[in-house]
Copies of this chain bind each other. A is one copy, B any other.
Amino acid sequence: MTDLKAGAARYAGARVHRVEDPRLLTGHGTFVDDVVRPGMLHACFVRSPVARARITAVDASEALALDGVHAVFFAEDLNPDVRESWYTLLGRDVPDTPRPALADGEVRFAGDPVALVVARDRYVAEDAADLVEIDYEALPPVVDYATAGESAESVHPEHPGNVAGALDGRPAEELAPVFDGAAHVVAATIHQQAYVPVPMETRGLVAEWSAADGELTIWASTQAPHEVRLFCSRLLGLPEHKVRVIMRDTGGGFGQKVIPMREDMCLLLAARKLPAAVKWIEDRRENLLSAGQARHEHGHARMAFDDDGRILAAALDYVQDAGAYPSPSPLFSAAAVGMLFPGPYRIPQSTFSVRSMFSNTTGRTAYRGPWQFESVAREVLLDRAARQLGVDPVELRRRNLLRHDEMPFVNPNGMPYSDMTPLETFEHALEILDYPAFRKEQEQGRAQGRYLGVGTCSYVEPTASALGPHATEGATIRIEPSGTVNVYVSGGSTGNSLETTTVQLTADALGVDIADVNTIQGDTAVTPFGGGTGGSRSGSMIAGAIAETATTLRDRVIAIAAHRLEAAVDDIELAASRATVRGVPESGISLADIAALAYFQVDALPPGVPAGLEASARYRAQAPMIWTNATHVSTCEVDVVTGHVRLLRHIVSEDCGPMINPNVVEGQIAGGTVQGIGGALLEHLAYDEDGNPVSTTFMDYLLPTSAEVPDIEYGHVESPGPGPGGYKGVGEGGAIGAPPAVVNAVADALAPFGVEIGRLPLTPATIVALIEEAR
């Protein structure tokens, strides 16, 4: 971060107010549903009412007769126009799963889109959708992914056996001697229920085709506008520069909006056949029905220990539900589950076997820490081990957690850890808790019939992985003629404060007042290509892009200042939008005056300094990935009569490297943690045995509210990563670490009953049943 150092960082690290907030808090955000276009039409989908059936006949005549209906599209109208449907993120050559626009011949989950209705408003479109007649011939569905491999039925005929992907680590036999010879072997099977991102803003799209210009403009709720643009360009065979994707504000994505899905494809395909812009806004029912599920998986985990509680080996057999139409290559997240199972522990040997199975349910989607089952399996297993070995679970972990001075460290599955502080972060979390005091309180509570528990989860997280389009990030910085600054990054506002981050870092890099910096993001016609928000990459990558780009400009500003002030370049200091000669504070020249020279008095520029103050550059990731680690500690009290879990404290101690803005870091942690708590205790995207979804409203799909979540306490340990500023990723961690900590706390509370937890979520009924079973 040489370039940042010189700027005498004033803003990076500070609790700078979010620049997004005035807009968002006063209701002036622009989400997709805020977009209104001349003569805009509205779309809705006709969806399959059953999990699996053959479509035998369709009839839109009644729907089309309704006043205000413009079109009803079926698979035959849209699907043949698809040119290519692969994602930039994975590239053309990665094996992929099926992705028709509309269901063609067979519906494969309840909610599968069969027809697209376009009308003058949404009311008419919905009424018309009711009038579209579709005849189905029922087929036996494959509802349970766990038994899908043995089913005679295939979700997709081209995938007999219903395997979407599978990967094995080192042959399990090779570890057999270790397990056989170990002092202790602990095993557990853990099931995680399906739960989902449920962003505040559901999916949605406005697509407007301009025949005169041959241009398609798309307003999208997305985490990656450039992915939408490239995908659309390939889908329709349009030149990339004739597709414009605009996202001003996106109301959360959490993985669900990383890539365009089938509904998006339908809108893009339909747009060129319509006389005006068309809008589709997903309603909440649709979001729960068809925007994908996550976390639906189970694993059999094993660890071998020596007499001192040191881990000798780890093994995981893992199966996940890919649903019918998963996000591309579900195998990626499955593989990560296996690779990361050893976590932040000093484990010499490991193996895994992972499988992703199709089922007739909504497709698996990415969701904040898509591989987080590795933590659930490992951390729940470690608490079980502690109980079996008769060791305090904190003590057991202390013996095995990696220390900062052991980095770099290659985990037994080949993951090249670096720049982490697992033990240090763990100890810091326990210090915040005052672990001995809690144990005392727990003991006193038990004496009074109160069941308190504490659980921890420590994990490592690969952030900003430098794969394909994620390996670089670009920025354009323009110091305007009056000396104010515009910064262009792909970015976009999805709730992760990238605008604030950009403005802070640019102000520091150029030594300007933060009020003089503005950032323009989320418009592919305007910003450089960007990999989008996902994989906890945006912060560190955009920091790199800004550092890389600002350096050129900074040098130019300093050269002009040195020339005007008749000083050596090395003696010029930039701060508060002013250049001064070191030690001569009264000597300065303002950035406004420097800019006026660069634009309007170019004859007065020093030799070799070009006119203008604009630069574009791309940052290349300095490492294949940047490693982050954290420990969550959760405490709770369980009402053993009602089964209600009351969370008492939730502590997150993390090492995300230097913090650009502690407010933003804490916001990211809090959001993920609340989602993790919801996953541990409440949320469940459930299906009945026929494949009918049973939680398609927020009355059935339970989200945590502020009443269920304690104030989150934060601890920070800092080891810089390899990139500019040493920044590391922090976006996903909360959702990874919270569930095992909560589960372990509940299990700890219920330890007196001999309860072990193997299935989420921990609803009151589940807890009562567990206690009953154990009694």
Which chain A residues have a beta carbon within 8 Å of chain B's beta carbons? Answer: 22-23, 26, 28, 36, 38, 88, 91, 210-214, 226, 230, 233, 239-242, 468-469, 471-472, 474, 476, 478, 480-486, 515-518, 520, 525-526, 528-529, 599-603, 610-612, 614-620
Query: In whole Å, how far is A245's beta carbon from the nearest beta carbon of chain B?
Result: 12
**In the complex the two chains form, is B28's CB within 8 Å of A212's CB?**
yes
Assembly stoichiometry (copies):
2
Going nearest first, the 9 A-B pairs with the smallest beta carbon separation are A612-B618, A611-B618, A240-B482, A28-B212, A241-B484, A241-B518, A614-B616, A472-B611, A26-B212
**In whole angstroms, what is the CA distance A91 to B596 when docked?**
10
Which residue in chain B gives the minimum CB-CB distance to A520? B525
Which residue in chain B gives the minimum CB-CB distance to A233? B482
List, sorted by A's number, 10 A–B pairs whose CB atoms are closer than 8 Å: A22-B214, A88-B481, A240-B480, A241-B517, A469-B481, A472-B599, A474-B612, A476-B476, A529-B612, A614-B618
**In the complex the two chains form, is B485's CB within 8 Å of A241's CB?**
yes
Q: From the candidates B239, B474, B481, name the one contacting A484 in the complex (CB within 8 A).
A: B239
Interface core residue of A233, A602, A616 (most chain B CB under 10 Å):
A616
Query: In whole Å, how far is A28's beta carbon from the nearest beta carbon of chain B?
Result: 4
Q: From the candidates B28, B38, B242, B529, name the one contacting A599 in the complex (CB within 8 A).
A: B529
Known: A486-B525, A615-B616. 5 other contacts (CB 8 A): A22-B212, A26-B211, A28-B213, A476-B476, A602-B620
User: Which residues from chain B contact A210 at a C-beta distance below 8 Å?
Assistant: 23, 28
Q: From the candidates B239, B476, B478, B515, name the one contacting A482 in the complex (CB within 8 A).
A: B239
User: Which residues from chain B contact A612 at a C-beta distance below 8 Å?
Assistant: 472, 474, 528-529, 616-618
Q: From the candidates B23, B36, B241, name the one contacting A212 in the complex (CB within 8 A).
A: B23
Instruction: Given A23-B213, A28-B212, A612-B529, decide whether A241 and B480 contact each other with a Cβ distance below 8 A.
Output: yes
Main secondary structure of the interface of A (DSSP, over half): mixed
Which residue in chain B gives the minimum CB-CB distance to A474? B612
Query: In whole Å, how far is A487's beta carbon from the nearest beta carbon of chain B?
Result: 10
User: Which residues from chain B contact A616 at a C-beta distance below 8 Å?
Assistant: 476, 478, 612, 614-616
Which residue in chain B gives the minimum CB-CB distance to A617? B610
Query: In whole Å, how far is A728's beta carbon from the nearest beta carbon of chain B?
Result: 21
**In the complex the two chains form, is A481's CB within 8 Å of B240's CB?**
yes
**In the complex the two chains form, is B611's CB within 8 Å of A620's CB?**
yes
Q: From the candidates B26, B88, B528, B619, name the one contacting A478 in the complex (CB within 8 A).
A: B528
User: Which residues from chain B contact A611 at a C-beta distance below 8 Å?
Assistant: 471-472, 474, 618-620
**In the complex the two chains form, is B526's CB within 8 Å of A525's CB?**
yes
User: Which residues from chain B contact A516 at a C-beta distance below 8 Å?
Assistant: 239, 241
**In whole angstroms, what is the CA distance A614 to B530 when docked?**
13
Which residue in chain B gives the minimum CB-CB distance to A524? B480
User: Which residues from chain B contact A603 at a C-beta distance below 8 Å?
Assistant: 471
**In the complex the two chains form, is B481's CB within 8 Å of A230's CB?**
yes
Which residue in chain B gives the minimum CB-CB distance to A28? B212
**In whole angstroms, what is the CA distance A315 to B555 when docked?**
52
User: Which residues from chain B contact A91 at a C-beta distance below 8 Å?
Assistant: 600
User: Which residues from chain B contact A526 at a C-beta distance below 8 Å?
Assistant: 520, 525-526
**In whole angstroms, what is the CA distance A633 to B612 when docked?**
43
**In the complex the two chains form, is B599's CB within 8 Å of A469's CB?**
yes
Which residue in chain B gives the minimum CB-CB distance to A234? B482
**In the complex the two chains form, is A486's CB within 8 Å of B241's CB?**
yes
**In the complex the two chains form, is B471's CB within 8 Å of A600's CB?**
yes
Interface core residue of A26, A211, A239 (most chain B CB under 10 Å):
A239
**In whole angstroms, what is the CA distance A518 to B525 when docked?**
10
Which residue in chain B gives the minimum CB-CB distance to A483? B240
**In whole angstroms, what is the CA distance A471 to B88 when docked?**
42
User: Which residues from chain B contact A528 at a C-beta distance below 8 Å?
Assistant: 478, 612, 614
Instruction: Given A529-B480, A602-B472, decide whether A239 and B515 contact each other with a Cβ distance below 8 A.
Output: yes
Query: In whole Å, how far is A578's beta carbon from the nearest beta carbon of chain B?
Result: 16
User: Which residues from chain B contact A478 at a C-beta distance below 8 Å?
Assistant: 528, 616
Query: In whole Å, how far is A719's beta carbon from the nearest beta carbon of chain B?
Result: 26
**In whole angstroms, what is the CA distance A517 to B241 when docked?**
8
**In the complex the two chains form, is A230's CB within 8 Å of B23's CB?**
no
User: Which residues from chain B contact A486 at a C-beta distance below 8 Å?
Assistant: 241, 525
User: Which residues from chain B contact A600 at a C-beta distance below 8 Å?
Assistant: 88, 91, 468-469, 471
**In whole angstroms, what is the CA distance A401 to B108 when docked?**
85
